[in-house]
Amino acid sequence: MHDQTQHDQTQHHQTFTLTVSDHIAHLQLSRPEAHNAMNRDFWQELPAALRALDASAAARVLVISATGKHFSAGMDLDIFTNPPADMFGGEPGRRAEAMRRLVLQLQDCFNAMEQLRIPVLAAVQGACIGGAVDMICAADMRYCTEDARFEIKETALGMTADLGTLQRLPRLISDGLVRELSYTARPLLAHEAQQAGLVNQLFTDQDSMLTGVMKIAAQIAQRSPLAVTGSKQMLNYARDHSLADSLQMMATWQAGMFQPTDLVQSFSARMQKTEPQYEGLRPIHAPFQD
């Protein structure tokens, strides 16, 4: 058996804290004085922390929230006002290749959320702007307070959103609404966001939101980790492939991953009126590491 006994673990990073308790990971953006803007440290710390969390198999679900009045103001303006010396200079072809590589590296920070074996729940209060919209679009589910607003702000700054919003958001809400939001840079307010299907549920304030989202996370953590990760991987695959290909992949997954162990445990726990104690996913090690 793996990963049955859990102790609270908290990691303090420059831009967020990450706590794991009772199989629930909670990543809280922790720069409220800067509206949780995504500075240079953030882009280094986030993907490293997510991949370490996945490798440890310590959590079965991840909640992402933020401290302060706003979820995040997006990319820290210091990155634009004080760019690397060679970012906009030098030979055009090599400059363009370096820029393309930089954008792919930043995209990979949010790709890491989709690549996690566990579901990711985003809890948003106040402003969620620019890069923060890219971020929450890579989550499995989104929840927000009644004062939340979502802005594809890049157009108003004279650039095109480039870290996933324009690719993921049309799969979450209507294409026409995505185009309106991206062309105008107008805010999408909480009630409209719920009506459009971007968020699952509205809450009156941040405390009630975190309480509600943690209850959902606890329900997920009680389910078979193998069944949950299978559901996430099959849903993501179906989003990106044809129906026929997705059904084929589902059959292949089931042929390899479906075993009677968790099913028997589910029925046994139901008969005994207890909660099943499923084995966790196995940690990820480097190849051939002991």
Q: Residue 265: CA atoms inside 13 Å, Cβ hemisphere, count?
A: 14
- Report whether pLDDT(4) > 50: no
In the block, tokens 């589902």 appear at 250
Domain spans of the chain, in order of start: 9-222, 225-272
In the block, tokens 């710390």 appear at 45
pLDDT band at 89 (very low <50, low <70, confident <90, very high): confident
CATH number for 9-222: choose from 3.30.9.10, 3.40.50.360, 3.90.226.10, 3.40.50.1000: 3.90.226.10
pLDDT band at 290 (very low <50, low <70, confident <90, very high): low
Please give the residue that has the higher pLDDT: either 271 or 282.
282
Distance CA 37, CA 59 (A): 26
- Report whether pLDDT(5) > 70: no
Instruction: Output the CA angle 125-115-231, nearest 5 degrees.
Output: 90
Q: What pLDDT is attached to residue 252? A: 96
The arithmetic mean of pLDDT across residues 165-171, rounded, is: 98
Q: What pLDDT is attached to residue 224? A: 95
pLDDT tens, position by position, 199-240: 999 999 999 999 999 999 999 999 999 999 999 999 999 999
- Report whether pLDDT(243) > 60: yes
List all residues 6 or more positions away from 123 whose beta carbon is below 8 Å from its beta carbon.
Answer: 63, 64, 65, 143, 144, 206, 209, 210, 213
Same fold, 9-222 and 225-272: no
CATH superfamily of 225-272: Lyase 2-enoyl-coa Hydratase, Chain  A, domain 2 (1.10.12.10)
Which one, of 78, 76, 74, lies nearest residue 66 by Cα? 74
Edge-to-edge strand list for the sheet holding 201-203: 9-12, 16-21, 24-29, 61-66, 120-124, 141-145, 201-203
